[in-house]
């Protein structure tokens, strides 16, 4: 996957857009070890239940699974270790205030490489209820059918 802005998207968290209403997005750098970068470049990443949290004035990403890189045997680290996210102090304070105050959560949306650096798009999100998920799915199907009908009319 790639984008026209010099960004090479490695992985997208499709489940996040289904289970959460994304209110705002923020770009953050990721602090990684060498074998993790190599594994990311090959796309061996799983979001399953990944989330971000502010701890001790720093932003940490938890439960993101980056598979061990085959050729790095001894240099590999724990695949689901907490990883520090690189943000300005001001951004961290603002995000922490939103999460604490309004009961929101920070969810990783996608991982990409921009000018050689691994970046992560974090979404400030509110969880959806089951009926909200169904409504969103119905709306998407209706929009798709409307676009198809417009295309056939031309």
Give the bridge partners for 106, in sequence order.
52, 124
Q: Is the pLDDT of residue 3 over 70?
A: no
Q: Is the pLDDT of residue 72 over 90?
A: no
Which of helix, strand or coil describes residue 132?
A: helix
In a domain, 139, yes or no: no
19, 133 Cβ separation under 8 angstroms: yes
Res. 5 pLDDT band, cuts 50 70 90: low
Rg of the chain's alpha carbons, rounded to an integer?
18
pLDDT digits (tens, 9 = 90+) for 12-58: 998 888 888 899 999 999 998 888 888 898 888 998 889 999 999 99
pLDDT digits (tens, 9 = 90+) for 135-152: 888 888 899 998 988 888
The tokens of 61 are what?
Answer: 């990403």
**For the chain, how many structural domains are there in total?**
1
The CATH code of the domain that includes 105 is: 2.40.280.10
Q: Which residue range(s) make up the domain with 40?
A: 7-128
In a domain, 145, yes or no: no
Of residues 51, 103, 119, the one with CA closest to residue 80: 51
**Full-model pTM:** 0.77
């Amino acid at each position: 996957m790639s984008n026209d802005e010099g960004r090479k998207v490695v992985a997208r968290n499709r489940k996040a857009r289904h289970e959460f209403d994304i209110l705002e997005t923020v770009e953050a750098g990721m602090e990684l070890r060498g074998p993790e970068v190599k594994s990311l470049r090959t796309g061996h990443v799983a979001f399953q239940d990944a989330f971000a949290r502010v701890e001790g004035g720093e932003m940490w990403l938890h439960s993101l699974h980056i598979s061990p890189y085959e050729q790095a045997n001894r240099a590999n680290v724990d695949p689901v270790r907490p990883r520090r996210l690189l943000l300005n102090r001001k951004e961290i304070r603002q995000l922490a205030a939103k999460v604490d105050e309004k009961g929101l959560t920070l969810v990783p949306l996608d991982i990409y490489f921009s000018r050689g650096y691994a970046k992560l798009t974090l979404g400030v999100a509110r969880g959806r209820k089951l009926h909200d998920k169904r409504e969103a799915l119905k709306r998407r199907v209706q929009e798709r059918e409307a676009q198809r009908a417009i295309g056939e009319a031309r």
